[in-house]
Structure 1
Amino acid sequence: MDTLAAAVLAGAPPDELARIPLPESFTAVHLREQDATLFGAEEADRDVRRTTHVGPVPMPVLAPDEVVVAVMASSVNYNTVWSAMYQPISTFTAVRRFAKQGGYAARHDLPHQVVGSDAAGVVVRVGDGVRHWNVGDHVMVSPAYVDDQDPGSHADAMMGTEGRAWGYETNFGGLAHYTVVRASQLVPKPPHLTWEEAASVTLCAGTAYRMLISDRGARMKQGDIVLVWGATGGLGGFAVQMVKNGGGVAVGVVSSERKAAILREQGCDLVIDRRELGMGDGADTPAEAVEYGKRLGRRIRAELGEDPHIAFDYVGRATFGTSVHVVRRGGSVVTCGSSTGYHHQFDNRYLWMNLKRVIGSHIANLQEQWDTARLFRQGGLVPILTDVFTMADTGEALRLVQNNGHIGKVGVLCLAPTEGLGVTDPLARARIGADRLTGWRRYSSTAKV
């Protein structure tokens, strides 16, 4: 371990951290450009363990609007699985496109890419242009990599044409001992959370907040019935909490009795195992999607008396057509990502003739991330962390998510030597309840329900 990292772990004061030089290199989870052709075109199982490397990478030069964060913990998101699969494209293509802007962007064009779009840690350097952050601050990192000189960003940061997903479309991601991020990505770490809990928050909880609560999303209101696909996943688990907290009625759809039991324990209002509807892996044609929508709608109406106002759909191809069919007249389908495929098919008659809306959503702007973090600080939201891996075993963590063998969020310890560190407000943790904050840990991939 380098001298600076050791000082961070020892709790050194900010002035001491500022005096210790940055290491010339650090350990990171990274991909190699040369592995883009490792999988054959017809290879069905693109095992991400084959392309995930853990080892030294050089420390990049710091831009004036950036900070260096000593990463205590990170977590796994499906975008890192896509990166390691080199599908639908190699993310080196996106990184190289970014680097063509020149200037500090050119640093990102390397034969390796440090991946990861979540992180929590300690600021150890600030650029000359950074005003509101200091060495020693405890932070979480938003994955929204925004160009603050793009005019679109000033209406809504996610509307800037040069916005990117950090650690996916950029280099220097969060699965590492250090990360370099823009100051506009920083969110104060809730002081009652551990490092690994905090590191599981920004991408999924922030995304769910924008999709459901923000005026740029579905604008959920009290009493709304919200259909949540994949309701025990990283996005779905936070969505169910937000629906319940906002006075909505949560309808969780899952694919196993174990996941159904988890949702019932979490207080989901209506739990549906899609296998009971004969959905299997989802719809392959618009006609199938309509038929599944009829079955799902009958079930929801029988239990709740009316159709859903909102469908929360990040599953994609397998469910999207059914979402369009099942929401009520004037209802909304809000979508981000497509873990089962990007090419969605649906019967458009049910969209236009019933005046429904499809809302595309991507990550969250900084205000939305701060608003989401506030809900965690209040105790209204709690982490959905289940499994925690060491950085050396990140390949196994990615494989678990790739095979959908997980529940909730999968964390990765980076500099933090053990779990449970980073809490600076134990009174708040006690007030909210350690059992609530760690409740999802009993759903780890090795646990039984």
Structure 2
Amino acid sequence: MDSLAEALLSGATPEQMERTELPETYLAAHTRIEDVDMFRGVEDKDVRKSLRLGHVPMPELAPDEVLVAVMASSINYNTVWSATFEPVSTFGFLERLGRQGGWAARHDQPYHVLGSDASGVIVRVGAGVRRWQVGDHVVTSCVQVDDQQPATHADGMLGSEQRIWGYETNFGGLAHYTVVRASQLLSKPTHLTWEESASTMLTAATSYRMLISDRGARIKQGDIVLIWGATGGLGGFAVQLVKNAGGIPIGVVSSDAKARLLRELGCDVVINRADIGLDSSGPLTPERTVELGKRLGRIIRKEVGEDPHVVFDFIGQATFGISVFVVRRGGSVVTCGSSTGYQHQFDNRYLWMNLKRIIGSHAANLQEQWECNRLFQLGMLVPVLSEVHPLEDVAEAARLVQTNRHTGKVGILGLAPRNGLGVTDPALRERIGAQRLNPFRTVDDAPAPALAG
């Protein structure tokens, strides 16, 4: 372990950390440009073969950036995309970013440090950073924007230079250190552990924008919301947001075990994919789509008496035609991601003749991220972390997500030596209740106070 990490974990003051020399390299999960074609013609693109763990050079900080010592991170599906080099190689993103020159040139490297979630401690700040300082406990937004673009000031997600950090940029969070812009930072919820707080922002804020924001579905009291993949990272937060808004969540899952977890989370109606005969992840024929849509609609109407107002669909190719069919007249399908494929097929007659809407949504702007993070601090949202792995096992953890053998979010410890650290408000944690904070965890590690212990 380098001297700065040792100082941090031993409880050094901010002044002591600033005086401690930065390491020249740091441990990071990354892909290599020479591996881009390794899966060509291969059916099972096993991410364990492409995800490497090793030391990479420490980048220089731009004036508007901070260096965060990563205590924990988590696996998102974009890490799977990066590690399979599909649908496009993310080295193309880095090369295009590097062509801008200046500070952007640092991102164009023969390695790509992955990861779009992190919690940690600021250990360096750039000369232009005003609102953050060394020693602050933070979580990171996954979105980098260009604040000199006019569109960014209307909505950060509309700027053409908006990028997802750790996917479309380098120096991501699955590492001992990460470089982020000051405009990505949010205060870490004080009652959450490092690994809990590192598992929330990408998926929770994405769900928040999709469902709550005026740029998404804008759900309200009484709305019936069908949620595909309801025990996944996005789905688990979608269920909570619908409940908080006074709506009725209907969750679709792939197993009885996941159905039990979803009921414990408070989902009003739980449907197993097998109950509607959806046992394929590929595209459906038009006839089969209508058949499954009618079957699903009958189940929903039997349970709640109406068709759904909103369908929350990040699954994509395998479900999208059914979503368009099953949502009520005048209803909305809100979509992002598409983990089973991007080529969506649906019968446009059910959309246009019934005045339905499709809403495309992507991540969340900083204000939406802040509002979502506030809900965690208030205890109104809780993490859906199911398991935690050391950074050394990052490839195995990513494989779990790739093969859908996980529930909720899969956490990764960075510099944190064990689970349960980082809580600075144990009284609030006790009031909320540790079991409520970990509805998907089989083992709840007792948190330790403060930094690392």
**Which TM-score applies when normalising by structure 2?**
0.96
1:100-249 alignment runs, 5 A limit: 100-249=99-248
CA-to-partner distance for each residue in 1:95-116, whole Å, 9 max, x for gaps?
1111111110000000000000
1:408-423 alignment runs, 5 A limit: 408-423=408-423
1:95 matched to 2:101? no
CA-to-partner distance for each residue in 1:334-362, whole Å, 9 max, x for gaps?
00100000000000001111111101111
SS at match of 1:38: coil
Question: Residue 264 of structure 2 aligns with which residue?
Answer: 265
Question: Residue 402 of structure 1 aligns with which residue?
Answer: 402
Q: Is the 8 A contact 1:309 1:332 kept in 2?
A: yes
Deviation at 1:294, TM superposition (A): 1.0
Question: Residue 343 of structure 2 aligns with which residue?
Answer: 343
Paired AA for residue 291 in structure 1: E
Question: Residue 447 of structure 2 aligns with which residue?
Answer: none
Query: In the aligned structure 2, how far is the partner of 1:88 from the partner of 1:435?
Result: 39
SS at match of 2:442: helix
Query: In the aligned structure 2, how far is the partner of 1:33 from the partner of 1:134?
Result: 35
Q: Is the 8 A contact 1:407 1:443 kept in 2?
A: no
Query: In the aligned structure 2, how far is the partner of 1:142 from the partner of 1:371?
Result: 12
Query: In the aligned structure 2, how far is the partner of 1:286 from the partner of 1:24?
Result: 57
Query: In the aligned structure 2, how far is the partner of 1:140 from the partner of 1:309?
Result: 33
Deviation at 1:285, TM superposition (A): 2.3
Paired AA for residue 405 in structure 2: G
Paired AA for residue 77 in structure 2: Y
Change in Cα spacing, 1:256 to 1:145, as seen in structure 2 (3 Å) is: same
Question: Residue 73 of structure 1 aligns with which residue?
Answer: 72
Question: Residue 424 of structure 2 aligns with which residue?
Answer: 424
Q: Is the 8 A contact 1:126 1:134 kept in 2?
A: yes
Query: In the aligned structure 1, how far is the partner of 2:289 from the partner of 2:372?
Result: 33
SS at match of 1:56: strand
Paired AA for residue 35 in structure 1: D
Question: Residue 377 of structure 2 aligns with which residue?
Answer: 377
Q: Is the 8 A contact 2:264 2:439 kept in 1?
A: no
Which stretch shifts more, 274-283 or 343-352? 274-283
Q: Is the 8 A contact 2:265 2:439 kept in 1?
A: no
Deviation at 1:438, TM superposition (A): 2.2
Paired AA for residue 94 in structure 1: F
Query: In the aligned structure 2, how far is the partner of 1:435 from the partner of 1:276?
Result: 30
SS at match of 1:441: coil
Query: In the aligned structure 2, how far is the partner of 1:378 from the partner of 1:264?
Result: 23
After superposition, the CA RMSD in angstroms is 1.1
Which stretch shifts more, 257-266 or 345-354? 257-266
Deviation at 1:286, TM superposition (A): 2.8
**Which TM-score applies when normalising by structure 1?**
0.97
CA-to-partner distance for each residue in 1:281-310, whole Å, 9 max, x for gaps?
255223322221111111111111110000
Question: Residue 46 of structure 2 aligns with which residue?
Answer: 47
SS at match of 2:398: helix
Paired AA for residue 249 in structure 1: I
Question: Residue 37 of structure 2 aligns with which residue?
Answer: 37
Query: In the aligned structure 2, how far is the partner of 1:430 from the partner of 1:267?
Result: 21
Query: In the aligned structure 2, how far is the partner of 1:256 from the partner of 1:439?
Result: 17
Query: In the aligned structure 2, how far is the partner of 1:265 from the partner of 1:139?
Result: 30
Query: In the aligned structure 2, how far is the partner of 1:305 from the partner of 1:153?
Result: 42
Query: In the aligned structure 2, how far is the partner of 1:3 from the partner of 1:182?
Result: 24
Question: Residue 334 of structure 2 aligns with which residue?
Answer: 334
Deviation at 1:443, TM superposition (A): 8.6
SS at match of 1:439: coil
SS at match of 2:36: helix
Question: Residue 323 of structure 1 aligns with which residue?
Answer: 323
Paired AA for residue 39 in structure 1: F
Question: Residue 449 of structure 2 aligns with which residue?
Answer: none
Paired AA for residue 437 in structure 1: L
SS at match of 2:26: strand
Q: Is the 8 A contact 1:324 1:346 kept in 2?
A: yes
Question: Residue 7 of structure 1 aligns with which residue?
Answer: 7
Q: Is the 8 A contact 1:66 1:180 kept in 2?
A: yes
Deviation at 1:13, TM superposition (A): 1.1
Count of residue correspondences? 443
Which stretch shifts more, 80-89 or 281-290? 281-290
Gaps of 5+ in 2: 445-453
Runs of 4+ that moved beyond 6 A: none
SS at match of 2:216: coil
Q: Is the 8 A contact 1:217 1:361 kept in 2?
A: yes
Q: Is the 8 A contact 1:99 1:106 kept in 2?
A: yes
Q: Is the 8 A contact 1:290 1:347 kept in 2?
A: no
Percent identity for Structure 1 against Structure 2: 66
Query: In the aligned structure 1, how far is the partner of 2:430 from the partner of 2:264?
Result: 22
1:63 matched to 2:57? no
Q: Is the 8 A contact 1:108 1:170 kept in 2?
A: yes
Question: Residue 367 of structure 2 aligns with which residue?
Answer: 367
Q: Is the 8 A contact 2:386 2:440 kept in 1?
A: yes
Q: Is the 8 A contact 2:176 2:415 kept in 1?
A: yes
Q: Is the 8 A contact 1:287 1:347 kept in 2?
A: no
Q: Is the 8 A contact 1:329 1:356 kept in 2?
A: yes
Query: In the aligned structure 2, how far is the partner of 1:338 from the partner of 1:438?
Result: 27
Question: Residue 436 of structure 2 aligns with which residue?
Answer: 436
Query: In the aligned structure 2, how far is the partner of 1:22 from the partner of 1:152?
Result: 36
SS at match of 2:91: helix
Query: In the aligned structure 2, how far is the partner of 1:167 from the partner of 1:66?
Result: 14
Q: Is the 8 A contact 1:69 1:180 kept in 2?
A: yes
Question: Residue 300 of structure 2 aligns with which residue?
Answer: 300
SS at match of 1:388: strand
